[in-house]
Structure 1
Amino acid sequence: MRKKIIIVGAGPGGLVSGMLLAHRGYQVTLLEKGATVGGRNAPLVAGDYRFDTGPTFLHQKFTLDEIFAEIGRKADEHIPFQKLDPMTKLTWEGVSLETSSDREKMAAAIEKAFPGEAENYRRFMRDHAHKLQAIFPCLLKPYHQLSSLFASHLLKALPHVATNKTVMDVLDGYFDDERLKLAFTFQAKYLGMSPWNCPGLFSILSYIEYEYGIYHVEGGLSKMSEIMADIFQEEGGQLMLESEVTSFQYQGDRVSGVVLADGQVLSCDDLIVNADYAHARSLIFGERKTEPETLAKKKFSCSTYMLYLGLDKIYQEEPHHHIIFADNYAQNVADIQSEKTISDDMSIYVRNSSINDKTVAPEGHSQLYFLVPTINNREGDQWTEEMREQYREKVLDRVIAKTGMKDLREHIVEERCITPTDWESADIFLGATFNLAHTLDQMLYLRPRNKLQGFENIYLVGGGTHPGSGLPTIFESARISANLIDEAYGTKRDRIDFASELLAATSARA
């Protein structure tokens, strides 16, 4: 008889684990309390405009290529990818830089904007080709015992980990211009962290982006979630939308089933939880036992203020991706890390995908996506209606001042906003959109395990478990947990591995 797997949450991690396990012959039921799949990677529709709620591009695409190969498919045959070049425009006071995964283009752009720094860029890329090759294997395995921290692949990586350095410390060793350093450290925001306290090993994030590029998906990255949901069902999985899980049933330390809001009980042999971990605690632990670690002691990422605009105009000369740095970026980040101050001097990410994608807005129209990193709600809710309106005006003022969109206000026809409070209302603990912070004391063995300790058959996927937040690592968490379920039933599965050869080739060229 086929083993029954229940997955709670149809975010990217739930979808990938569902695809893998359904393909392997398990009886998989994927439960999603919302009306659409994707979680934070779901679409947001306002009138005739389609937005991505959260992630807007994919990097480290080779991980997704591996996932699809494991189910006998090719990602490019299912998902309409578009590799972007240039990738992102970065704007500081008085200077801008358009980034590229073409090393010669990137070196020339850096030399033009920051004379004398091109060779420093080349040195960074050479060194980080070796660093990534050493560190990457550490992200692919589970860490369930303290002894796992002494595994050979971790010991080999130690010289590259820079345990006593932050990302900014690492960049201090390469570049002289403080603004250019930010071009290689802002990626710490993908983890919801500051480059001044993000562990130095994460300098690999900018390298991955600048070496292997970033990808747009036609229709938005949320389209990827919808496509994976279709594939999951083609592989034999059952998708149940608007099916909220209210509690788990146990037999000892094993979950035996889940209870839905309508009273229906579904039995299972194994359970995968793809939900914000801090929020999911109440489901997992209920009243049966106390979690051994208290959330009060945990460190969480920042939150984000989001503004989605549908326009009756296309700003064709504006870039696809644009980051406008705060005038005093260090202070802006310090305000966010304080978890107390909503900074007026803000950094803003702008996505203008309509210049390359005509499917997300009516003909002659476009949509804009603004993301502003801000404090989470640890100190309480500050997002009153008055604050929401004031912040909206500040965001628009800054975008208008720093871009060519001088008449932006005149062309807004649809609008939606998400604040940290809205994120928290969507079951994201403290509104911390990037989940648990990626400090060294909350990684590997010290992060909630892929197979949850204290239980026989509960597995975690998503940003709150190992390897961490960000789409590629969430995909990897799903593969790790799927493989652990296989191992529990005596199957040791060889992973399809495109990355090793790719990283080795890049390192050899360095």
Structure 2
Amino acid sequence: MTKPSSTPDAAGRAVVVGAGLGGLASAMRLGAKGWQVTVVDRLDRPGGRGSSISQGGHRFDLGPTIVTVPQTLRDLWSACGRDFDRDVQLVPMDPFYRILFADGETFTARKDPAAMQAEVARISPADLAGYIRFLKDSETRYRFGYEDLGRRPMHNFIETLKVIPRFAMLRADRSVHAHAATRVRDPHLRFALSFHPLFIGGDPFNVTSMYVLVSHLEAAFGVHYAMGGVQAIADAMTKVVTDQGGNVISGGEVDEILVQGGRASGVKLTDGRHFPAEVVVSNADAGHTYDRLLRNQRRRRWTPARLKRSRWSMGLFVWYFGTKGTRHRWPEVGHHSIVVGPRYRDHIRDIFICGRLADDMSLYVHRPSVTDPSCAPDGDDTFYALSPVPHLGHDNGVDWQVEAEPYRKKVQAVLEERLLPGLSLHLTESLVFTPETFRDRYLSPLGAGFSIEPRILQSAWFRPHNLSEELPGLYLAGAGTHPGAGVPGVIGTSEILAQLVPDAPHRAANPVALAAE
């Protein structure tokens, strides 16, 4: 832990840049340690990429839709002297999701191990033994990568050196898809066991095989939905922060991290307001933090040139739409569906390497109204369809001002053909997010959906550190730092933060902090 020092106005104060899940979780942890916390966010409601927009009676969850490790949230609430399950209702999903392949094959993921083995055996009996081995591989990587490395700081290079032999033994140099291919031969099963990195911004053919741990997360903890959407989690987090005596400010954009005496000393907003603090936590994208918020400070490692050389996650095209009178239509379409295009490897290469907007696509389709009727008018449905697309940094970048509507029509055509026949007859509300939206709304460099891509040399020590290497008193939370993207990852950044930031000097006299013990 580093010892803060500051001006009298900043004594005992912490400021958090961004009210995304990582920022709110950090604020909760700091509040539990006695800090007087102010969270500043440029949006009109908390949640960041996990917030929502209401339109025409539909609540559109804008970003993450599932909770895979509820215990991370329960531990967070417990650290604040609260009970998560009293504040948020989680509903287990079964099935987790259904994958629809272009050749007509399907794969349904479920919680029950016997049902999963039966599904694998139905598709390819010869791969059942390999699938069982894959699950053991996944659990081993979970124990090491998630429970060990993912829950402690990795800003000291010596810690990385210590684990290199373990990385080598687990073949962390191998990609997720390559590892799946060593266990199963059927291409449908290889997809089902390797697509998960796309949900944290990674190329399955290049992201380290440590991320096969996601299969264990699903098998061990299940897939859950928060009633009211992830927005309900963000709102509950905000209430904990304010109950601790903290403050969450919406509609205020941080323009710069202030520095005094060689340390972070607070933030300045674009409207001129200043918030002095002993501790500054940035939940803004790491690239935005270093390139914009510290633009007037010399950076040794995360320079503009270094950020430009980094590999960024793909962009996202998301079509949010509502349908009229369809609650009992399409009964085979559940809460989560994955519609796979005719290509896998080549399509992923188009997105991540070539930067090309392909004519074909694969879609993740979210239909929360089958679980949570509150997100749509009575009898209607709320959907979103997400398509991975190139980020804005490729030389042949997509002009979304021109391409957004034609691409939306292509998405609609795929949905009508593959999942939702007759969709056009029932459409009502419509809202589109492109990578340009992510750039402008979330200040995401290159419009990337998940910050820096989690390749092996952009993970752990190689990722921007939770304890900033550029400025004492500055800490990073959220998807762009260790351990990475995804709801468990960004919540986990706050657990690491709590190990790095000491208790506030006045904590012993703070009844709110004491109540959390």
2:364 pairs, out of 343, 349, 357, with 349
Runs (4 or more) in structure 1 with deviation over 6 Å come to 487-491
Q: How does 1:192-211 map to 2 (within 5 A)?
A: 192-211=201-220
Equivalent residue, structure 1, for 2:351? 336
1:105 Cα offset (Å): 1.1
Residue identity opposite 1:142 in structure 2: P
- Structure 2 contact 138–214 (Cα < 8 Å) conserved: no
| 1:460 lines up with 2:476 in the alignment | yes
Cα displacement (A) at 1:291:
4.9
Matched residue, 1:418: 433
Equivalent residue for 2:126, pick from 116, 119, 134: 116
Q: Secondary structure at the match of 1:208?
A: helix
Shift of 1:143: 1.7
Q: 1:19 to 1:384 in 2, by over 3 A?
A: closer
Q: Secondary structure at the match of 1:190?
A: helix
Q: Distance in 2 between matches of 1:23 and 1:163?
A: 36
Paired residues, number: 488
Partners of 2:196 and 2:159 lie apart in 1 by 28
Q: 1:38 aligns with which of 26, 36, 47?
A: 47
8 Å CA contact 2:451–2:480 kept in 1: the answer is yes
The whole-number CA distance in structure 2 between the counterparts of 1:384 and 1:262 is: 30
Aligned twin of 1:262:
271
Which structure has more relative contact order (CA 8 Å, sep 6+)? It is: 2
Task: Provide the residue aligned with 2:95 in structure 1.
Answer: 86
Counterpart contact for 1:102–1:211, Cα < 8 Å: no
Q: How far is the alpha carbon of 1:31 from its aligned partner?
A: 0.8
Q: What's the offset of the Cα at 1:346?
A: 0.6
Post-superposition shift, 1:64?
1.6
Matched, 1:97 2:107: yes
Q: 1:49 to 1:9 in 2, by over 3 A?
A: same
Partner residue, 1:402: 418
The one-letter code sitting in structure 2 at the alignment partner of 1:147 is I
**Identity rate, percent:** 27
RMSD of aligned alpha carbons:
1.9
State the SS of the aligned residue for 1:376.
coil
1:67-466 matches, cutoff 5 A: 67-92=76-101, 93-136=103-146, 137-151=148-162, 154=163, 157-158=166-167, 160-293=169-302, 294-312=306-324, 313-314=326-327, 315=329, 316-379=331-394, 381-403=397-419, 405-426=420-441, 427-466=443-482
**Could you report, residue by residue, the CA deviation over 1:203-238 in whole angstroms, capped at 9, with x for unpaired residues?**
111221233211111111222111111111112211
- TM-score of the pair, normalised by structure 1: 0.92
User: 1:38 and 1:366 mapped to 2: Cα distance?
Assistant: 23
Shift of 1:155: 5.7
Listed one character per residue, the Cα deviations across residues 152-195 of structure 1 (whole Å, up to 9, x for unaligned) are xx367435531331111211121110111110100010222221
Taking the aligned partners of 1:255 and 1:164, their CA distance within structure 2 comes to 37
- Separation of aligned partners in 2, 1:239 and 1:455: 24
User: What is the CA-CA distance between 1:311 and the residue it aligns to?
Assistant: 1.0
Q: Any gaps of 5 or more consecutive residues in structure 1?
A: 492-510
Which residue type is aligned with residue 126 of structure 1?
K
Q: Cα deviation per residue 1:332-381 (whole Å; 9 max; x = unaligned)?
A: 11101124200111100001111111110011111111000010001265
2:487 alignment partner, one of 471, 491, 494: 471
Letter in 2 for 1:61: P
Secondary structure, aligned partner of 2:365: strand
Is contact 1:339-1:377 (8 Å) kept?
A: no
User: Counterparts of 1:159 and 1:75 in 2: how far apart (Å)?
Assistant: 38
Q: Name the SS of the counterpart of 1:486 in structure 2.
A: coil
Instruction: Give the C-alpha shift of residue 279 in structure 1.
Output: 1.6
Distance 2:136 2:155 in 1: 33
1:382 Cα shift? 1.9
Structure 2 CA distance, aligned partners of 1:6 and 1:339?
40
The one-letter amino acid of 1:304's match is: L
How far apart, CA to CA, are the structure 1 residues paired with 2:352 and 2:297? 35
In 2, Cα distance between the equivalents of 1:379 and 1:135? 31
Pick which of 405-414 and 382-391 moved more: 382-391
Q: 1:21-59 CA deviation, whole Å, 9 max, x = no partner?
A: 112221111111111101111112222100111111111
Query: After the TM superposition, which of the residue ranges 227-236 and 242-251 deviates more from structure 2?
Result: 242-251
C-alpha distance after superposition, 1:88-119 (max 9, x if no partner): 00111221011012101111122223333333
Q: CA deviation at 1:469?
A: 0.9
Letter of the structure 2 residue corresponding to residue 299 of structure 1: R
Q: Please tell me whether the aligned partners of residues 383 and 419 of structure 1 are also in contact (alpha carbons under 8 angstroms).
A: no
Q: CA deviation at 1:384?
A: 3.8
Counterpart contact for 1:253–1:454, Cα < 8 Å: no
Query: TM-score scaled by structure 2?
Result: 0.90
Change (3 A) 1:431 1:291: farther
What CA deviation, in whole Å up to 9, does each residue of 1:292-315 have, x standing for no partner?
Answer: 332111110101100000111223
Secondary structure of residue in 1 paired with 2:373: coil
| Equivalence for 2:514 | none
Deviation at 1:457, TM superposition (A): 0.1
| Counterpart contact for 2:54–2:60, Cα < 8 Å | yes
* Distance of 2:225 and 2:337 partners within structure 1: 14
Question: Aligned partners of 1:50, 1:129: CA distance in 2, in Å?
Answer: 36
| Amino acid in structure 2 at the alignment position of 1:466 | H
CA separation in 1, counterparts of 2:501 and 2:45?
A: 26
Mark the CA change 1:98 to 1:280 in structure 2 (over 3 Å): closer, same or farther.
same
